[in-house]
Amino acid sequence: MSKLILFNMMTVDGLFEGPNKEIDWHSVDHEFNEFAIEQLDSAGTLIFGRKTYEIMAGYWPTPDSIKDDPEVANRMNSIPKIVFSRTLENAPWNNTRLVKSVIKEQIETMKQQSDEDIFILGSANLASKFRELGLIDEYRIMVNPVILGKGNPLFLESESRENLKLFKSKTF
């Protein structure tokens, strides 16, 4: 059975993007790329919300990404993807399926039918919905040493508390 894993970058003050959707503070270097490749090698499916999907689909299939980062681009373009969106009419990025709503039973069935992990990348709003439904098995949060002061929080307010157990940490 696969795990559903949320991976996202976050600032020390809990934000995943600045007030104008800035992510220029993301720390992406050779060491992070090695981590990303290892993580993608264990992924059977990538899940995105609409906004993250549009950013990823606008970058990874391009000649620039393939030239600048061929190993990650190859994986991002070949791994099956699901985009959850009520507003998109189609999802043309290679190996992408468009789903209009989150149905807990469909995700649970996906997890049971595969041994490869399912990753939610970015997509904080979608991740909050998955969290509410109790679907996330593991949180992988990369904390960048920056305080933005303003922006959008990785975790939206919730009525429920979730106690987590630290499994492992890695310093980059």
Tell me the domain boundaries of the chain: 4-153
pLDDT of the residue at 62: 97
List, for residues 101-125, the tens digit of each pLDDT value: 989 999 999 999 999 999 999 999 9
DSSP state of 16: E
User: pLDDT, tens digit, for every residue of 5-14?
Assistant: 999 999 999 9
Percentage of the chain beyond pLDDT 70 is 100
How do residues 41-64 score in pLDDT, each as one tens digit? 999 999 999 999 999 999 999 999
Q: Which fold has domain 4-153?
A: Dihydrofolate Reductase, subunit A (3.40.430)
Helix (H) or strand (E) holding 61: none
